[in-house]
Structure 1
Amino acid sequence: MSQPRQIVPGATYMITRRVVRRHFLFRPDAAINQLLIYILAVSARRYGIQVHALCAMSTHLHLVVTDVQGVLPRFLQFFHRIVALGTKVLRKWEGPVWDHEATSVVRLLTRAAVVEKIAYVLANPVTAGLVRHAREWPGVKVEVGEIGRGVLHAARPSVYLDPKNPQWSEKITLPLALPPAIEQDRAEGFREQVVAELERQEAQAHAEIARRDLRFSGPERASHVSPYERARSFGALRERNPTFAVGREQGGAWRSAASAVQAFRASYRVALERWRVGVRSALFPAGTWWMRTFHGVSVNAVVLAL
């Protein structure tokens, strides 16, 4: 049984979902870019999700978002389902689109974590040896300067989505919001921090590519690889599935967050055991989502802050 996850309004997350068997189904081309932006924009608007950063790699997707209303599972279910169905039609693909592993959802608890994870998301094509600089990636991505002031645009894709259904508007926009912890008058300083961290991560990637005597593939090659091929490089299995991040050299914040996670899980287990033996008045900790949504359990109004 998986561990319960605390879902609270206003939390910021880095989200990663991988393609089945590392196929290049999201190979960057105009059609898949349009599909991903459009569905993300519709999904974000439907569930009140603020999007801060994203990068669509050929084999996986990265997002950094804020769940304003505390409905992240609903958003992910809808977004991933429509992306999969649209991709199956676009690529003429039979079978599942997504890997069997659960979506990675990492809550970002500090400004340092937000800076580092946004840079990590944007640097992904460089770290993978595909392009020398993040700005060269031809797939769906965000430029640092767009965070908090940019808007992505997409017309409705011609595949899968019924133009007669009013939920699929002809055109849609996706504003790129500032993370809620960043005040508007300090936005430029925040973007400068992300740029510095992105440059640091790019430099690390360049050094690693040089150490291995490899070359960057380049955007042209990445755009023309067959979507039915698979990544040949070794992909290590995820030994850990972290639930939160605080950034480098944030030991005190990490210990506080770990204690809060343990307290939430312990309180949840006690309430669940009481509920299972018929005590329907069992009080679950704030942030309980599944049991509240599908069984209507009572939930404490006091949040155990991470």
Structure 2
Amino acid sequence: MSQPREIIPGATYLITRRILRRHHLLRPDATITQLLVYALAVSSRRYGIEVHALCAMSTHLHLVVTDVNGVLPRFLQFFHRIAALGTKVLRTWEGPVWDHEPTSAVRLLTRAALVEKIAYVLANPVAAGLVQHANEWPGAKVDVGELGRGVLHAIRPSAYLDPENPQWPKEVTLPLALPPVIEQDSAEAFRREVTTELERLEAQAHAEARRQGLRFLGAERASKVSPCKRATSFEALRDRNPTFAVGRDQGDAWRIAGAAVRAFRASYRAALERWRAGIRSVVFPAGTWWMRTFHGASVTDVVLVV
């Protein structure tokens, strides 16, 4: 049984979803980029999600978003469905698109975590040995200079989406928001911090490539890889799915956050046991989403503080 997860309005997350068996279905060509940006723009507008960063790799997708209204599961379900069905049409693909593992949603609790994870997202194509610098990646992405001020734009894809359906407008725009903990007057400082971390990750990837005697694939060749091809590079088995991140050198932040997660889970399980015993007056802890949405359970407004 999977662990219960808090869904708190206003929380910021690093979202990762992987393609089944590491096929290159999201190969960075113009049609798939159009589909992903369009689907993301429509989905985020529908559910009030703020998008901060994005990088679509050939075999997986990274997002950094803020769930303003506490509806993250609804947003992910809608967005991933549109992206998957559109991909099936564009790639003439039979069967599932997404990996069977649950979507990874890591809550980013500090400014340091935001800087590190956004830089990690942007550096993904470099770390994978595809391009030498993040801004060279031809797929759907956000450049560091666009953080909090860029706008992504897409025209409705001709594949899959019905032009007569009003929920699919002809054109959409997606303004890129600053994470809520970043004040507008510190936006430039935030972008500089992300740039510094991105440069560190790029230098690390360059050094590793030299150590192994490898060359970067290049944007043009990456755009021409067969979507049916599977990645063959080593990937560790995903035996952990982190719940939160606090960043490096954050003192007691990790311990405090871990205690809060354990307190939520203990409270949730105690409430669930009473619910299963037929006690419908039980109150679940703040952040309980599934039981409130699908079973009408009562949920307190008071967030547990440890």
Instruction: Sort the TM-score into its range (normalised by shorter chain).
Output: over 0.9
Q: Distance in 2 between matches of 1:211 and 1:266?
A: 47
Alignment of 1:165-204 (within 5 A): 165-204=165-204
Q: Report the equivalent of 2:292.
A: 292
Are residue 224 (structure 1) and residue 224 (structure 2) matched? yes
Alignment of 1:214-253 (within 5 A): 214-253=214-253
Deviations 1:243-292 (A, max 9, x none): 00000112310000000000000000000000000111111000000000
Are residue 144 (structure 1) and residue 144 (structure 2) matched? yes
Q: Distance in 2 between matches of 1:101 and 1:212?
A: 31
Q: Report the equivalent of 2:109.
A: 109
Does the residue aligned with 2:113 lie in a helix, a strand or coil?
A: helix
Q: Distance in 1 between matches of 2:133 and 2:166?
A: 39
Q: Distance in 2 between matches of 1:143 and 1:232?
A: 27
Q: Distance in 2 between matches of 1:289 and 1:268?
A: 11
Q: Report the equivalent of 1:20.
A: 20
Which residue identity lines up with residue 171 of structure 1 in the other structure? E
Are residue 54 (structure 1) and residue 59 (structure 2) matched? no
Q: Report the equivalent of 2:86.
A: 86
Which residue identity lines up with residue 237 of structure 2 in the other structure? L
Give the TM-score, by structure 2 length.
0.99
Matched length: 306
Q: Distance in 1 between matches of 2:262 and 2:183?
A: 31
Q: Report the equivalent of 2:9.
A: 9
Deviations 1:212-256 (A, max 9, x none): 111110101101111111111122111211000000112310000
Q: Distance in 2 between matches of 1:305 and 1:105?
A: 21
Q: Report the equivalent of 2:156.
A: 156
Deviations 1:143-200 (A, max 9, x none): 1111111100000000000000000000000000000000001100000000000001
Which residue identity lines up with residue 154 of structure 2 in the other structure? A
Are residue 125 (structure 1) and residue 131 (structure 2) matched? no
Which residue identity lines up with residue 136 of structure 1 in the other structure? E
Q: Distance in 1 between matches of 2:254 and 2:76?
A: 26
Q: Distance in 2 between matches of 1:123 and 1:25?
A: 20
Q: Distance in 2 between matches of 1:149 and 1:282?
A: 45
Q: Distance in 2 between matches of 1:52 and 1:90?
A: 27
Q: CA deviation at 1:205?
A: 0.8
Q: CA deviation at 1:98?
A: 0.3
Q: Distance in 1 between matches of 2:261 and 2:96?
A: 33
Deviations 1:32-52 (A, max 9, x none): 000000000000000000000
Does the residue aligned with 2:223 lie in a helix, a strand or coil?
A: helix
Which residue identity lines up with residue 233 of structure 2 in the other structure? S
> RMSD over aligned Cα, in angstroms?
0.8
Q: Distance in 2 between matches of 1:236 and 1:16?
A: 15
Give the TM-score, by structure 1 length.
0.99
Deviations 1:99-145 (A, max 9, x none): 11110100000000000000000000000000000000000110111
Q: Report the equivalent of 2:210.
A: 210
Q: CA deviation at 1:305?
A: 4.8
Which residue identity lines up with residue 302 of structure 1 in the other structure? V
Q: Report the equivalent of 1:95.
A: 95
Q: Distance in 2 between matches of 1:238 and 1:251?
A: 27
Q: Distance in 2 between matches of 1:120 and 1:304?
A: 30
Q: Distance in 2 between matches of 1:226 and 1:240?
A: 30
Deviations 1:49-80 (A, max 9, x none): 00000000000000000000000000000000
Q: Distance in 2 between matches of 1:305 and 1:220?
A: 50
Runs of 4+ with deviation above 2 angstroms: none
Between the aligned residues of both structures, percent identity stands at 78
Which residue identity lines up with residue 207 of structure 2 in the other structure? A
Specify every segment of 5 or more residues in structure 2 that has no aligned partner in the other structure, as ranges: none
Does the residue aligned with 2:107 lie in a helix, a strand or coil?
A: strand
Q: Distance in 1 between matches of 2:251 and 2:304?
A: 19
Q: Distance in 2 between matches of 1:292 and 1:210?
A: 53
Q: CA deviation at 1:81?
A: 0.6
Which residue identity lines up with residue 208 of structure 1 in the other structure? E
Q: Closer, same or farther in 2 for the Cα pair 1:70/1:90, shift >3 Å?
A: same
Q: Report the equivalent of 2:70.
A: 70
Are residue 280 (structure 1) and residue 280 (structure 2) matched? yes
